[in-house]
Amino acid sequence: MENKILDTAAEMFLNYGFKSVTMDDIANEIGISKKTIYVHYKNKSILVEKTVEYLFHKISAGIEEIRDQEKNPIEEILEIKRFLLYNLKEEKSSPEYQLEKYYPKVYKDVKQKQYCVMSECVVCNLERGLELGLYRKNINTEFISKIYFNSMMALKNKDLFPLNNFSMQMLMNNYLEYHLRGICTEKGLEILNRHQLTNQ
């Protein structure tokens, strides 16, 4: 039952926002009484915290599965983008903004965890790209990994990128092209250009 509650809560929070969804909404969606949820989570704050943890581990495991496939670094980063967009529902309700505003401690904790995972993932991707001659030899991997993380976080800023004007898919597509074209060698650009032609 706990997994069912977390699955449903995660789906609803991502679709409608952490503030907007009530315990009643989640109970109704599952078809159980609200009391059943309170048996496992004594209040909404705890449910939000556990749901965010659950989502973090689910996303991290999915990214690891993609990395284990040992695709070339350019295909790997584009595959991770597709995975994130699918699993985070393109963040159409701006759940991260609501999480930061209404559950700041949970937001701060998960952001730190995200940074650790993304930083390690990006540095490994950059190092493999360098080894394979797909990324330029003079890049600074630590600098680029920090810029990458903070730029990805900035994409979720609805003041900078209002949802009415920018979909998350469009933002991520444009940012990753910007990122890759800045670091790719001619060999890397050939792979990127081929990929874009086949995915138009």
Q: List the helix and strand counts (H, then E) for the chain.
A: 10, 0
d(CA 38, CA 190): 55
Looking at the domain assignment, is residue 163 inside a domain?
yes
Looking at the domain assignment, is residue 58 inside a domain?
yes
Looking at the domain assignment, is residue 121 inside a domain?
yes
- How far, in Å, are 26, 80, 105, 184, 188 from residue 134 at the CA level? 47, 18, 39, 6, 4
Give the H or E element holding residue 70.
none
Looking at the domain assignment, is residue 21 inside a domain?
no
Place of tokens 């159409």: 92
d(CA 180, CA 192): 8
Rounded to an integer, the average pLDDT of 34-54 is 97
Looking at the domain assignment, is residue 8 inside a domain?
no
Looking at the domain assignment, is residue 5 inside a domain?
no
Position 111 confidence tier, pLDDT thresholds 50, 70, 90 = very high
Domain housing 173: 45-198
Position 142 confidence tier, pLDDT thresholds 50, 70, 90 = very high
Position 159 confidence tier, pLDDT thresholds 50, 70, 90 = confident
d(CA 185, CA 41): 51
- Look at residue 21 and give its three-state secondary structure: coil
* Predicted pLDDT at 133: 98
Are the CB atoms for 82 and 199 separated by under 8 Å?
no
Looking at the domain assignment, is residue 111 inside a domain?
yes
Looking at the domain assignment, is residue 9 inside a domain?
no
Kindly report the CATH number assigned to the domain that includes residue 88: 1.10.357.10
Number of folded domains that form the chain: 1
Q: Which of 117, 10, 116, 139 is nearest to 67 (CA)?
A: 117
Q: What is the DSSP string of 137-198?
A: TT--HHHHHHHHHHHHHHHT-TTTS-TTT--HHHHHHHHHHHHHHHHB-HHHHHHHHHHHHH
d(CA 200, CA 182): 21
* Predicted pLDDT at 156: 84
53-69, pLDDT tens digit by residue?
999 999 999 999 999 99
d(CA 97, CA 163): 12
* Predicted pLDDT at 76: 97
User: For residue 157, is pLDDT > 90?
Assistant: no
